[in-house]
Structure 1
Amino acid sequence: MAAEQFPVVGWPPVSHESLEWTSRYEFGPRASLGERTERYSAAVPALIGTAPYTPPGSLAAELEDAAVALREFDTELGAGIAPFASVLLRTESMSSSMIENVTANARSVAMAELGDTSTRNAMLVVDNGSAMKAALAAADDTTPGGILAMHRALMAHSDPDQAGKWRQEPVWIGTSAKSPVGADYVAPRYERVPGLIEDLADFVRRNDLQVLAHAMLAHAQFETIHPFTDGNGRTGRALLQAILRGKGLTRNVTVPISAGLLVDVLAYHRALDAYRDGDPDEIVRMGSTAAFLAIENGRRLAADIRSAREGWDGKVTARADNAVWRVMDLLERQPVVTSRVLEDELGLARNTVWRAMGLLEEAGVVLGVNKHRMGRNWRSEEVLAALDAFAQRAERRGRAD
């Protein structure tokens, strides 16, 4: 079913249609079943494939400043030997999950990456990271199929039956979990989803919009469509990253925009509501603000990890060709490792691994821990603390606001 076209002037607001909802309930002393039919209002998003958007002067200037800052950050942290690309992707996955109240500390996430299934939230964060990777892989050709791949990676473990499938049922936000009647927002009926996503893909393929504004508008439209039964927010923020990469605003690292949005989640939700009312400027401005906050926080994280590495170099005495230096390089981006990881990632023999890790344990660079069924792992407490501090800075500022 086609969505309504946008008006000639201004950004197209969401319209609505009245639908029926039949609910079943029990009544009487013998708990007989009855039915009640009520009406509710569902969104009808406009098509935006060719919709014009020109930010007002002050916002346009903010967007250009943010774009310059993003490019500088991407170049700065993407250059040299410091492997910040994977570190920042992990922080983006953690921050995006935290917006949905899925929280896990850095150690739990690192263990989940190694196959530890004991902490559900950590597994969800890892799956979110997989969705981010799928998004970046699809960055040059963001199609409906690419969006399904992002969702499939995200929901592979938590909801495999619905992973990578457009929803076939109503979804809504707020009020009752059993009925859309009176909900804060009811997404468009599922029959509209494929056409709306095709239109969104057309919008993404355009090259006439400022990139950060382009990404935020596409993200807001995706959240308005809400094409999945679950995981829409995390998939939508992965899509945002795909657009930034595909349009060339970022080339080397995943700028943790979600950490900036996390600073004021209520404002983020209000901006999405304003977008649906035909005011796109607030969600675009949120993208600019979030970019600056993410850059500030990301630079502090990078500085903390560099400081940790400098400390390690001062503690270890070994020949230049000793494996410990390569292990320390790996620890900067993967703060928990096992013998198998070191063998696979660095091509080290097992006896070399144990000698190197023994030396690093003695120097206080890593802490060795035996975990049931996983054997021994080694942790950089300093890098884990730096990752947790990154999350806490964003979350703490969000609570203060």
Structure 2
Amino acid sequence: MAETVPLWWEPADGLVVRDRRGGRYHAYTPDLLCTRPLALPQELSEKASRAERAIRNLSSGPGAQRLGGIARFLLRSEAIASSMIEGIAPSPGQVALAELAQDEDVRGFSDQARLVANNITVLRRASQDLVDADLVTVDDVVTLHSALLPDDRHHGLRDVQNWIGGSNWNPLDAEFVPPASDQVHPLMADLVSYLNGSAHGPLIQAGILHAQFETIHPFTDGNGRVGRSLIHTVLARRGLAPGTVLPISLVLSTLSDRYVDGLTAYRYIGDPLSDDATVGITTWLETFVDAASIAAEHAGRLATDLEELHAEWSTRLRAHRSALGLRGEPRAGSATSKILHYLPEAPVMTAKTVQRILGVSFPPARAALEELADAHILARKSVEKGTTGYLAREVLDLVGLAERRLASTRFDTRISPPSRPAPARPD
């Protein structure tokens, strides 16, 4: 049964007197997931089912393909956190330029943008490795941690006690003390066994696994980043959100008070079938499912916005071509037509980009970009001496607006402004 274990803290030598404290503290040890019974209220089960249907619709409804292309930009905030960036965060446009610089010689972006772009790449690759694995192991989670925190001094599962809140020097006044270090390995082995199974629905599984991971707190640093990544791992492995990144972690970050209260409630004491345990787990899962529903709603809104933008582009392009005496629709297999398809995924391009992704020569690549710029679909920008970049600013603006909404405690910036760093409002 879940319990708090009394332990004794021995003070370290060399500290000043006020920090040199020893004494009794209590570390929390949760029940194992694979053997813990779980009884959910019918109302919560129905709410989770509705949220799962909304998430699945993101992969099959209008705009699904374009949302999949733009999904990585929703990792921007996570990548900023992973980069430990302080101050003004780089805009989606800066990050897109920095991503392009991973394959081409371009300039015009900050060092912060480069850090974020690099971390987006790491996040995507590391997360996909877990999604593709036949069975996820504890070592796989450790590898994910190392990828997300490459400069951390303490890779691997912790062999020391950690804690949240209180003093930096001892856990005596901590807000929460995770399990003792000798419990970390068996608890993590149980956690990955639960991840590899399907005892519960995908959304319930993701919520329980995230709360259990944050409760174990198996690393000395970076637990939040790994825990958020594991949400996407579960949803993708279960086929619920295979082609997109659902911004649940952004919503949970905005609902920070509910998030902390929910995790605290999850950490019941005693019999897992007791009323207190049921209420605690339900409180957490209500928060998690609500966050998933909000994330799905706003991802769907972004998909709709992208679909409407693509229709507007088609109208502009027809008008431009008609004014030149050309047929309104470009040929289906033309570079112009294909670029329109790729813009959500690659909102910053050069002729070299088009050559690389479409396999065409320079002249048709440059001609197609110029045509789209003349039709006011792309904007020209010098990105290197002698190299012109072409930006789909409206795509980048939609990403920025979506992130601003997700940072508002009312998820509507007309009612409440962003409560945490978010892109500036587009001009």
User: Shorter-chain-normalised TM-score: which range?
Assistant: 0.7 to 0.9
| Inter-CA distance 218–374: structure 2 relative to 1 (3 Å threshold) | farther
Q: What is the aligned partner in structure 2 of residue 30 from structure 1?
A: none
AA partner of residue 134 (structure 1): A
In the alignment, what sits opposite 1:25? Answer: 15
Report the equivalent of 2:399. Answer: 387
Structure-2 change in CA distance of 1:129 and 1:283 (3 Å): farther
Shift of 1:198: 0.4
Amino acid aligned to 2:42: G
- Identify if the C-alpha distance between structure 1 residues 354 and 128 changes in structure 2 by more than 3 Å, giving closer, same or farther: closer
Provide the C-alpha distance between the structure 2 equivalents of 1:187 and 1:270, rounded to a whole number of angstroms: 16
* 1:149 aligns with one of 143, 151, 168: 143
Q: What is the one-letter code of the residue matched to 1:94? A: R
Please say if residues 43 and 188 of structure 1, whose CA atoms lie closer than 8 Å, have aligned partners that are also in contact.
yes
User: What root-mean-square deviation, in Å, do the aligned CA atoms of Structure 1 and Structure 2 show?
Assistant: 3.2
SS in 2 for 1:213: helix
Structure 1 regions of 5+ residues with no counterpart?
1-5, 7-12, 28-33
Query: Contact (CA 8 Å) 2:136, 2:195: kept in 1 or not?
Result: yes
Distance 1:198 1:348 in 2: 50
Instruction: State the match for 1:296 in structure 2.
Output: 297
Secondary structure at the counterpart of residue 36 of structure 2: coil
Partner-residue secondary structure (3-state), 1:138: helix
Which of 95, 105, 128 is the matching residue for 1:109?
95
Name the amino acid aligned to 1:326: K
Partner AA of 2:95 in structure 1: V
Q: Return the offset for 1:339.
A: 4.0
One-letter code of the match for 1:16?
A: V
Match in the other structure for 2:255: 264
Selected match of 2:390 from 371, 378, 389: 378
- Pairing of 1:280-359 with structure 2 (within 5 A): 280-316=281-317, 317=321, 319-320=330-331, 321-359=333-371
Please list the CA deviations of residues 106-156 of structure 1 after superposition, one character each: whole Å capped at 9, or x if unmatched: 223323323478343763475256334433442352322332233233223
Superposed displacement of residue 384, structure 1: 0.5
Partner of 2:49: 64
Q: Label 1:18 to 1:281 Cα distance change in 2 as closer, same or farther (>3 A).
A: same
Separation in structure 2 between the aligned mates of residue 386 and residue 376 of structure 1, nearest angstrom:
23
1:35 Cα deviation (Å)? 5.4
Q: How many residues matched?
A: 379
Q: CA 1:356–1:179 in structure 2 vs 1: closer, same or farther (change >3 Å)?
A: farther
Q: What is the aligned partner in structure 1 of residue 424 from structure 2?
A: none
**Which residue in 2 is equivalent to 1:195?**
186
CA shift at 1:39, angstroms?
Answer: 4.6
Could you tell me how far 1:253 is from its partner in structure 2?
Answer: 2.8
The yes-or-no answer on 1:218 pairing with 2:203 is no
Cα deviation for residue 386 of structure 1 reads 0.3
Write the distance in 2 (CA, Å) between the matches of 1:187 and 1:150.
21
Q: Percent identity?
A: 26
Q: Which has the higher strand share?
A: 1
Secondary structure in structure 2 of the residue aligned to 1:309: helix
**In the TM superposition, what is the alpha-carbon distance from 1:99 to its structure 2 partner?**
8.1
1:120 equivalent to 2:102? Answer: no
**Residues 127 and 155 in structure 1, CA contact (< 8 A), matched pair in contact too:** no
Q: Equivalents in 2 of 1:340, 1:323: separation in Å?
A: 13
Quote the Cα distance in structure 2 between the aligned partners of 1:181 and 1:375. Answer: 60
In 1: Cα distance, 2:253 partner to 2:79 partner: 10
Give the AA of the match of 1:56: P
- Equivalents in 2 of 1:195, 1:205: separation in Å? 16
Say if 1:358 and 1:289 are closer, same or farther in 2 by CA, change over 3 A.
same
| Structure 1 residue 241, shift from structure 2 partner | 1.5
CA contact (8 A) 1:271 1:283 kept: yes
Aligned pair in 2 of structure 1 residues 398, 224: CA closer, same or farther (>3 Å)? farther
The answer for unaligned runs of 5 or more in structure 2 is 269-276, 322-328, 420-427
C-alpha deviation, 1:330, in angstroms: 1.5
- Closer, same or farther in 2 for the Cα pair 1:314/1:272, shift >3 Å? same
Q: CA deviation at 1:359?
A: 2.4
